[in-house]
């Protein structure tokens, strides 16, 4: 109610001073370029050439589970240990560490769901130049070349991937600081091979460069007590022109080459008003890259949580289409190749080569390492209404009533930081939210839910229970001098709990218990923001790298911090119900494995058309690396959207996994009924479409939870041999069966959608108009258009009785949309459970398969051992692309009866009226 600055006090002023500078775009000067990050500059200065590393084949040991081998750097004689594993499911793991590091180097814990099970490697051949190992399936082999060291993964005659083929393997060994060195001989001995004294002679003196032992950026000095420790490795991908992944970047789906600028950066940062189409780091980091061509899909998972940069180059990138044509015609020249180089500040090289060969294989390979998407409560797939901030209980009540008044469904209303007592999380403002349980009960009475924010920065205030407990238990992150690390954030001076500690996480989780979190009820869920962590007065608005997490520097764990916060919170929500109820937690920062804990959003975007557009590739990139539950703030966080943009954003968001409107404190209200009845109707319709598809969304999430397949996926995932799909990121698929091309242009009169599949057909879900696949289709649009197509050959169950919230629709009947392909067949699935508990793990679920062939639609049980009953029945079957039957017969366990139907000859749509059988039963419907 006061001015923004008054409310935020000095924190904000400071932050503004740092970040704002009065302009709308990101202040790039606040964030490092590769040149400003000493290790990146150092590593990038190293050009491709002959690697100084040599494999010492005589040190090779091959056991049933792994191969080990020493590498030596001929320049400094430092030895490395290479470990090679063949993992179940066609994955090869390559680990490289110092043979005898001065002290242990950090190996990322808690990301892999288990120690990956191995499969035996067998030696195929060996000579003085190297060894050849069999990777089992499909004549796959690993060739270890000794001089210089390189690894090639080969299938038949094809090289799939080469490591260190450009000689960029680099491993800055830990060393004593020269000026404080007690024993100058120690280091030399370390790298010396006693068996070969000749090698000790030519010890190259380590060049001491700037930034090795101390680095300053914008008045922040990183003390770097361990000195230089960077690692780097290159990967060559012959035959590959398309690489994807390594989120989070506000960039296109297909990654660009980085020769002319900075590499893609992975370092979780709170970037104020981020800029689009560049490789700058954002809130989260998943060091996973996918490589794809018409033959094969592969993945590289670089398991390292330190600051990381990824360079991409390509031998075809610079070529024009004509140039490529010429190459093709002349049958000439090199095959296309993409070269990738990973650089991390510290830790070890631990990389998983996921060898596909199909996109689905890569998803399941990655899922076998880091787990799958948490199966969300059904309600969280509905619509979420958020704003910074709903001011008080009365405000919440009136917004809630507004949805009913305008007959718009929603499931969650959200409270941002202002709901707390002075930004003390787990508390409520004593005046504005004096009786939270009353408020939550009011929502519960309408079967709706609430999310309240809990950020990881804790106000330093001796009258604040949470702070006192964390301090007294010694759970705060420490500064380099051993005291509690403190930084500025929303509450002013704040401490940062050390979420890397299991005991800290267990304590944090306990704070969500109903006996601890005052005012909480079972319909209150949580949102973790600022968990990069954001430190307003820290270097690059984050934590100092020399802060300490027990014995490890923050440098080592930085990209992991947000995952741990998310995890501890999700565990808290699970535990408060005794492990019965599924949690729902939204996070801004993330890492590989974050998919196991809930949803992610793309952070503080802006109300601009380009931000609407970028939401597609940003969520597609996340989906490719396991994080399916992704969304962007509908309407845009900063600034105020035009009505047209807002409507288009609702229409887009309704077809993206996490569907939440959000707005900055300083923007005018934008609840969907504030823009005149026409626009209210447009937004209502978009949200209602979302609710009709909830059964499909739920089934896709069940699939994602089971297999790791993304819910929202690029077209190439389903059409891997169609190069026309490889760079598409203005349209996408939901599962296999829905193709969405949102309208993201201002004043658009039409969009051109590529409908894939030469022998496929696609049905407009609104008009049932049939279109052939394998073409670019121009679709005229009006403000009410949301171009969405159902694939011929699919069956999608929907619920058309859209109610106040998803929970209100629980027992509603289904309408089956059967879209026939050219062979007049179709298939689909339906998944049902109670929608909110973990009882599906005990097989309390229904999983049906519907198939249509030879004029018979049948439902069979995919989980015969499962136990669940539903009241829901089938109220309608709509068959698209049908011909007129003379008779329609339903057969169930109870007998046979004829069904009424209606046939629309102009669109070839057959509507079967009220078959009425329970959706969980076995049945057939026969058309004659």
Partner 1 sequence: MRFHIIIAAFLWAAFVESRKIRGISSSYKRFYRERKSFLCIDGSKMIPFEQVNDDYCDCADGSDEPGTSACPRGRFYCTNLGFRPHYIPSSRVNDGICDCCDASDEYNSHARCQNTCWNLGQKERAYVEGQMKTLDEGLRLKQQLIEEGVLLWREKQAQLRELQRAAEDLQIKLEEHRKRKHEADRLKEQTLKALKAGDKGFRHQNSTVSHLFQLLDSNKDGSISLDEVKAKVVLVHDETRVLSKDEALTLLGGGHQMDLSKFQNTLWDVLIRGDGYKIKDAHSAPGGLMSEDPHLKAADRAAEWEATNLKKVEEAYETVNMEISDLQKKLEIDYGTDWEYLFLNGQCYKLKVYEYMYTLCPFNMVSQKSTAGTEVSLGLWGMWAGPAKNHYSQMVYENGEPCWQGGSRTTSVTMTCGTETALRSVKEPSKCQYIMDFETPVACQPVLKQRGVHSEL
Cite the active site residues: 529, 604
2 DSSP assignment: -
CB 345 within 8 A of CB 43: no
> Between 218 and 913, whose beta carbon lies closer to partner 1?
913
> Between 593 and 635, whose beta carbon lies closer to partner 1?
635
Interface residue with partner 1 among 6, 179, 205, 334 (CB under 8 A) is: 6
CA distance 803 to 810: 10
CB of 832 to partner 1, least distance (A): 18
Interface residue with partner 1 among 103, 114, 157, 431 (CB under 8 A) is: 431
647: its two tokens: 């409507």
CB of 518 to partner 1, least distance (A): 20
CB of 392 to partner 1, least distance (A): 8
> Between 395 and 745, whose beta carbon lies closer to partner 1?
395
Residue length of the chain: 928
CA distance 377 to 698: 9
| Residues of this chain, 852-891, that bind partner 1 according to CB under 8 A | 875-876
CA distance 486 to 476: 9
> Between 54 and 447, whose beta carbon lies closer to partner 1?
447
Give residue 672's Cα distance to chain centre.
28
- Is 401 a binding residue for partner 1 by CB under 8 A? The answer is no
Interface residue with partner 1 among 812, 827, 834, 844 (CB under 8 A) is: 812
Residue 217 to residues 32, 36, 548, Cα–Cα distance (Å): 8, 8, 19
CB of 391 to partner 1, least distance (A): 7
> Between 492 and 539, whose beta carbon lies closer to partner 1?
492
810: its two tokens: 């629980």
CA distance 909 to 916: 20
- Given the structure tokens 């707390």, which residue do they identify? 420
Span interacting with partner 1, options 193-201, 223-231, 663-671, 883-891, rule CB under 8 A? 663-671
CA distance 494 to 14: 14
CB of 16 to partner 1, least distance (A): 9
CB of 897 to partner 1, least distance (A): 15
- Is 5 a binding residue for partner 1 by CB under 8 A? The answer is yes
CB of 689 to partner 1, least distance (A): 12
Closest Cα partner for 213 from 204, 224, 203?
224
> Between 71 and 379, whose beta carbon lies closer to partner 1?
379
Report DSSP letters for 316-359, one per residue: STT--HHHHHHHHHTT-SPPPEEEEEEEESSS-EEEEEE--SSH
Interface residue with partner 1 among 119, 407, 575, 730 (CB under 8 A) is: 407
Interface residue with partner 1 among 914, 921, 922, 926 (CB under 8 A) is: 914
Closest Cα partner for 69 from 49, 88, 91, 97?
97
CB of 431 to partner 1, least distance (A): 5
| Residues of this chain, 200-259, that bind partner 1 according to CB under 8 A | none
CB 811 within 8 A of CB 352: no
- Is 421 a binding residue for partner 1 by CB under 8 A? The answer is no
Interface residue with partner 1 among 667, 707, 892, 924 (CB under 8 A) is: 667
CB 791 within 8 A of CB 822: no
Interface residue with partner 1 among 177, 189, 473, 913 (CB under 8 A) is: 913
> Between 199 and 392, whose beta carbon lies closer to partner 1?
392
SS3 label, residue 267? coil
One character per residue 528-547, x = contact with partner 1 (rule: CB under 8 A): --------------------
Interface residue with partner 1 among 114, 157, 207, 669 (CB under 8 A) is: 669
One character per residue 435-474, x = contact with partner 1 (rule: CB under 8 A): ----------xxx---------------------------
- Is 808 a binding residue for partner 1 by CB under 8 A? The answer is yes
Span interacting with partner 1, options 221-229, 489-497, 666-674, 780-788, rule CB under 8 A? 666-674
CA distance 879 to 521: 44
Beta strands of 439-508 (E only): which ranges?
449-453, 458-459, 486-489, 492-495
End-to-end Cα, the chain, rounded Å: 69
CB of 691 to partner 1, least distance (A): 10
Using CB under 8 A, count the residues that bind partner 1.
32
CB of 387 to partner 1, least distance (A): 9
Give residue 757's Cα distance to chain centre.
27
> Between 170 and 680, whose beta carbon lies closer to partner 1?
680
Give residue 856's Cα distance to chain centre.
40
Give residue 635's Cα distance to chain centre.
21
- Is 834 a binding residue for partner 1 by CB under 8 A? The answer is no
902: its two tokens: 């209606």
- Is 405 a binding residue for partner 1 by CB under 8 A? The answer is no
At residue 150, φ and ψ (nearest 5 deg) are -155, 160
- Given the structure tokens 């400094």, which residue do they identify? 76
CB of 279 to partner 1, least distance (A): 29
Helix residue ranges, H only, 627-714: 643-653, 676-692, 694-707
One character per residue 572-591, x = contact with partner 1 (rule: CB under 8 A): --------------------
| Residues of this chain, 787-806, that bind partner 1 according to CB under 8 A | 800-804
> Between 569 and 680, whose beta carbon lies closer to partner 1?
680
User: HSE-up of 192 (CA within 13 Å, CB side)?
Assistant: 12
Interface residue with partner 1 among 254, 432, 459, 798 (CB under 8 A) is: 432
Closest Cα partner for 413 from 438, 376, 431, 388?
388
CB of 422 to partner 1, least distance (A): 12
- Is 767 a binding residue for partner 1 by CB under 8 A? The answer is no
Q: Which long-range contacts (CB under 8 A, 24 or more apart) does 396-399 make?
A: 396/439, 396/443, 396/450, 397/439, 397/442, 399/671
CA distance 465 to 459: 10
> Between 220 and 801, whose beta carbon lies closer to partner 1?
801
> Between 142 and 925, whose beta carbon lies closer to partner 1?
925
Return the exposure string of 355-385: e unless at least 16 CB atoms fall within 10 Å of the residue's CB, then b: bbbebbbbbbbbbbbbbbbbbbbbbbbbbbb
> Between 108 and 694, whose beta carbon lies closer to partner 1?
694
CB of 454 to partner 1, least distance (A): 23
- Is 906 a binding residue for partner 1 by CB under 8 A? The answer is no
At residue 472, φ and ψ (nearest 5 deg) are -70, -25
One character per residue 369-398, x = contact with partner 1 (rule: CB under 8 A): ----------------------x--xx---
Interface residue with partner 1 among 666, 678, 841, 904 (CB under 8 A) is: 666
Span interacting with partner 1, options 2-10, 85-93, 762-770, 886-894, rule CB under 8 A? 2-10
Span interacting with partner 1, options 70-78, 353-361, 372-380, 664-672, rule CB under 8 A? 664-672
Q: Is the peptide bond before 248 cis (omega within 30 degrees of 0)?
A: yes
CA distance 239 to 251: 23
SS3 label, residue 472? helix
Closest Cα partner for 40 from 172, 208, 173, 219?
172
CA distance 618 to 367: 20
Span interacting with partner 1, options 220-228, 352-360, 621-629, 665-673, rule CB under 8 A? 665-673
| Residues of this chain, 307-336, that bind partner 1 according to CB under 8 A | none
Note the residues at the interface with partner 1 (CB under 8 A). 1-6, 391, 394-395, 407, 431-432, 445-447, 665-669, 800-804, 808-809, 812, 875-876, 913-914
């Amino acid at each position: 109610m006061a001015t923004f600055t008054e409310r935020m006090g000095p924190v904000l002023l400071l932050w503004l001073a740092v970040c704002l500078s009065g302009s709308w775009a990101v202040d790039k000067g606040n964030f490092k370029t590769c040149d400003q990050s000493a290790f990146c500059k150092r590593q990038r200065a190293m050009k491709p050439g002959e690697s100084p590393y040599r494999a010492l084949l005589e040190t090779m040991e091959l056991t049933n589970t792994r191969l080990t081998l020493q590498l030596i750097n001929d320049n400094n004689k430092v030895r490395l240990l290479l470990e090679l594993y063949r993992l179940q499911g066609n994955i090869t793991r390559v680990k490289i560490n110092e043979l005898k590091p001065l002290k242990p180097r950090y190996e990322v814990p808690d990301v892999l769901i288990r120690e990956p099970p191995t499969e035996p490697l067998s030696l195929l051949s060996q000579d003085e130049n190297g060894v050849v190992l069999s990777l089992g399936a499909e004549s796959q082999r690993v060739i270890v070349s000794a001089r210089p060291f390189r690894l090639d993964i080969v299938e038949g005659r094809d090289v799939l991937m080469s490591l260190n083929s450009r000689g960029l393997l680099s491993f800055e060994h830990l060393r004593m600081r020269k000026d404080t060195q007690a024993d100058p001989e120690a280091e030399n001995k370390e790298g010396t091979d006693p068996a070969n004294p000749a090698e000790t002679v030519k010890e190259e003196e380590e060049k001491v460069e700037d930034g090795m032992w101390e680095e300053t950026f914008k008045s922040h000095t990183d003390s770097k007590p361990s000195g230089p420790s960077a690692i780097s490795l290159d990967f060559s991908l012959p035959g590959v022109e398309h690489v994807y992944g390594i989120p989070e970047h506000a960039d296109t789906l297909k990654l660009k080459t980085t020769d002319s600028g900075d590499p893609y950066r992975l370092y979780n940062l709170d970037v104020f008003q981020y800029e689009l189409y560049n490789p700058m780091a954002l809130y989260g980091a998943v060091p996973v890259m996918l490589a794809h061509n018409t033959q094969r899909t592969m993945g590289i998972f670089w398991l390292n949580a330190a600051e990381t940069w990824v360079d991409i180059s390509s031998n075809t990138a610079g070529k024009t289409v004509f140039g490529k044509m010429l190459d093709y015609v002349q049958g000439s020249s090199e095959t296309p190749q993409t070269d990738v180089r990973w650089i991390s500040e510290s830790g070890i090289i631990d990389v998983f080569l996921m060898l596909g060969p199909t996109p689905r294989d890569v998803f399941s390979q990655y899922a076998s390492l880091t787990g799958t998407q948490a199966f969300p409560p059904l309600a969280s797939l509905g619509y979420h209404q958020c704003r910074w901030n709903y001011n008080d209980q009365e405000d919440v009540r009136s917004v809630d009533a507004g949805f009913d008044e305008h007959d718009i469904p929603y499931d969650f209303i959200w409270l941002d930081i202002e709901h707390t007592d002075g930004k003390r999380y787990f508390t409520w403002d004593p005046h504005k939210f004096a009786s939270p349980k009353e408020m939550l009960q009011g929502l519960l009475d309408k079967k709706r839910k609430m999310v309240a924010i809990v950020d990881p920065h804790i106000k330093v205030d001796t009258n604040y229970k949470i702070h006192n407990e964390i301090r007294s238990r010694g759970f705060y992150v420490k500064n380099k001098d051993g005291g509690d690390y403190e930084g500025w954030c929303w509450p002013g001076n704040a401490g940062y709990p050390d979420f890397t500690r299991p005991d800290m996480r267990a304590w944090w989780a306990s704070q969500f218990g109903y006996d601890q979190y005052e005012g909480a009820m079972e319909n209150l869920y949580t949102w973790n923001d600022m968990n990069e962590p954001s430190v307003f007065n820290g270097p690059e608005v984050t934590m100092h790298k020399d802060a300490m997490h027990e014995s490890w520097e923050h440098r080592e764990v930085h990209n992991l911090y947000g995952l741990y916060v998310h995890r501890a919170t999700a565990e808290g929500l699970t535990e408060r119900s005794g492990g019965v109820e599924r949690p729902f937690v939204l996070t801004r920062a993330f890492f590989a494995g974050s998919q196991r804990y809930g949803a992610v959003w793309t952070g503080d975007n802006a109300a601009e058309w380009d931000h609407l557009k970028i939401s597609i590739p940003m969520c597609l990139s996340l989906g490719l690396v396991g994080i399916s539950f992704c969304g962007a703030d509908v309407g845009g966080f900063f600034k105020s959207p035009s009505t047209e943009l807002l409507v288009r954003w609702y229409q887009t968001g309704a077809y993206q996994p996490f569907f939440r409107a959000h707005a900055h404190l300083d923007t005018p209200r934008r609840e969907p009924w504030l823009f005149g009845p026409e626009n209210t109707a447009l937004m209502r319709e978009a949200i209602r479409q979302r609710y009709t598809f909830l059964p499909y969304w739920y089934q896709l999430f069940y699939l994602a939870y089971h297999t790791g397949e993304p819910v929202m996926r690029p077209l190439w995932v389903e059409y891997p041999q169609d190069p026309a799909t490889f760079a598409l990121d203005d349209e996408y698929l939901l599962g296999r069966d829905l193709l969405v091309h949102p309208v993201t242009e201002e004043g658009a009169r039409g969009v051109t959608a590529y409908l894939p599949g030469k022998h496929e057909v696609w049905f407009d879900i609104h008009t049932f108009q049939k279109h052939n696949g394998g073409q670019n289709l121009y679709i005229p649009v009006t403000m009410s258009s949301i171009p969405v197509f159902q694939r011929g050959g699919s069956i999608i169950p929907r619920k058309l009785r859209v109610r106040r919230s998803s929970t209100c629709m629980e027992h509603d009947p289904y309408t089956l949309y059967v879209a026939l392909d050219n062979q007049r067949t179709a298939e689909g699935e339906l998944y049902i459970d109670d929608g909110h508990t973990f009882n599906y793990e005990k097989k309390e679920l229904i999983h049906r398969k519907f198939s249509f062939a030879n004029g018979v639609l049948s439902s069979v049980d995919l989980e015969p051992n499962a136990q669940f009953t539903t009241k829901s029945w089938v109220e309608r079957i709509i068959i698209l692309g049908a011909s007129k039957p003379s008779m329609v017969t339903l057969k169930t366990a109870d007998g046979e009866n004829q069904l009424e139907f209606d046939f629309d000859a102009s669109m070839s749509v057959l509507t079967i009226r009220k078959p009425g059988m329970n959706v969980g039963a076995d049945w057939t419907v026969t058309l004659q």
